[in-house]
Structure 1
C-alpha cells in the first residue's frame, strides 16, 4: 500500500501529512486528539541526512508538543550504502535517531511503528524496533538479512539456512515470522483506523518482545536468558 492511500484510510483525505523527498511528516487529528506522524517512503535508504532529519522532527515534537503520541510510518531498504555516509558517521546518525525515539518514550510519548511496505536491516532497527510496539500490514516485507548474506556471515551453507528457515522463524524473512518472533506485535487487517485506535489504547510501557516470541514459539530462549541475566544481577 502506498503512503497516501494509507494516510487517507487512517485520517481522511485532508490528513495533512507532507512528503519532502523520501521523508514523511505532519500532525494529524485522530479521534479528536493530535497525533504526530514521521516516516519514510519509496523504500528510502536511511543515510546521514535522512536519519538526522527524522531525529530533528522527534526532538521538535518533544519541545513543542509534550506527551503527543507518535506514529512511525516505515518503508525503508535499510541504511544508505555509500562511502560519503560512512565517512560522515552513518552509525552515529542512526544511533542518534534511535536515542531520540527512546527519549520520547521515556518522556511519556506513546511511540508506535507501522511497517506499511518494506523494512530492512538498520533502517528498521532504528525506527520500528525502537517503538513501544511495532505493527505491520499483512502485505509488508520485513527482513534484516537475506539468506545469502546470512550464509556469508555465519559460514553456514545457504542450503542449510534455507532448510532451517522452514521451521525456525529466526532464519526466515517475512512479516508473519516477525510476528512469531515478537518483533512485530500484530498485523493490521480490515479497518485500519480501528487497528490504530487499538494500538494506541494498548501500547505497552515495557519491552514485551521476548515474552511474545516465547509465547508464540518463534524465540524460545530469549525471554529465559533475559530472566536469568536479571536474576544474576
Structure 2
C-alpha cells in the first residue's frame, strides 16, 4: 500500500515531467500558489486533494498508485514470519513457487488441481504477505529482487531440507540436459568467494534465460531445477496435485 508521502513524491515527479509549475497547478486547483507550495513542502495532503491534482495533470489515480508501487525497493529476503506463512499451506507454497517462475493464473490452474477461485485466493495471500502485487484481471508484479533468496535457516529452506532434497536427489540425472557433479578438493580460503561468485552468476544466468524463454511455445520449453546439479524435476507432492 502506498503512503501519502510516496504519492506526493510521485506527484512532484509528474509535475516536473509535465513541465507544470506550482503556479500552473494552483490555477488549475483554484488555490493560491503559496498554499500549493506549502502543501507540497509538508509532504502531506488528503487523498481528495491528490485526486484533484491528478485531474489537473490528466492522470488516473490508479496509474499514479501503480507508478509508486513500481518504484518501491524490491525484497531480497522475506521475514521469518512471511516464510512461515508460505510453508503453512502446501497449495500456497505451490502457487508461490509458480509465481517465482512467472507463471500466469491460467498456467497454474491448467497444470495443477486448483480451481481459479482457489488460485486467486492464494494470489491474494501472496499479495498480503508481500511477495507479489496483485493487479486487475489477476495479473501480478513480483516484489522480489533478482538477488532474492530464501533465508538460509528459515522456514522455507527447512521445509525443503526435510521434504524435498531426498526427492530431488532420488533421480538419476541421466536424462537429456541433466547432470550431477560431485567434486571434492582443498583450495585456498581466499579463492572460495570467487568460486561462490561464479556459482551465483550461473544461477543468475539460468534465471535470466528462464525469463527470456517465456516467449517460446510451451512445447519448446522444459522445466529444470538447478541446484549444483540439474535435472528435469518436480517435487512429488506437487506432482500429486496435477490434473
| TM-score, scaled relative to structure 2 | 0.24
Higher relative contact order (CA closer than 8 Å, sequence separation 6+): 2
| Structure number, greater radius of gyration | 2
Bigger helix share = 2
Bigger strand share = 1
